[in-house]
Amino acid sequence: MATVNSNTCVIYIDPEGNSIGSVDPAESAIVGALQPIAFSTSAGVSINNATFEVNYKAATGADGTTAPSLEPTRAFRAGTQSGSMSFEGVVDFADPTNTISLEQIFGKLKDKGLITAAWASTSTSTQAYAAQGYLTNFEMSSSVDDFATFSGSIELVGDITTL
């Protein structure tokens, strides 16, 4: 069994919302505009299938001694897929190269624009998951004698792709 070190997982963002390619951003030097969130300490992805219920009557056939009847039947099916990504990190307003800064995330949240996001690990034994979505939450907080931290979430729209 191949395990994944959580220190290698991060959320990658393209603030311009370009279409999702097929290249895992953590495993390639050519990743287009997808860049990791700077100073990230955790990353999460959640994918859900909505279900719907169908109720109907199934007809039973007649045989020589019994009449046909209607049997109540209930079934479930998977419907629309939805998902979200979350991230946390340590606040630092330095602007390291090839990363998405806190200012860019905050700006994109205020702009309410579509972004592209991917959850990926630098481990080559894992999958990466990507979709387009909207930044729905961004928070910075601090407490006495501790590091200031940030957290945020992205509500995904459309299909979620495995890279």
Residue 20, burial from CB neighbour count under 10 angstroms (0-12, 13-18, 19+): buried
Domains and CATH numbers, the chain: 7-49+80-162 (4.10.410), 51-79 (no CATH)
pTM, whole model, 2 decimals?
A: 0.75
What pLDDT is recorded for position 23?
Answer: 63
The residues of the chain scoring below 50 in pLDDT are: 1, 29-30
What pLDDT is recorded for position 25?
Answer: 62
Q: Which of 118, 43, 125 is nearest to 88 (CA)?
A: 43
First to last CA, the chain: 21
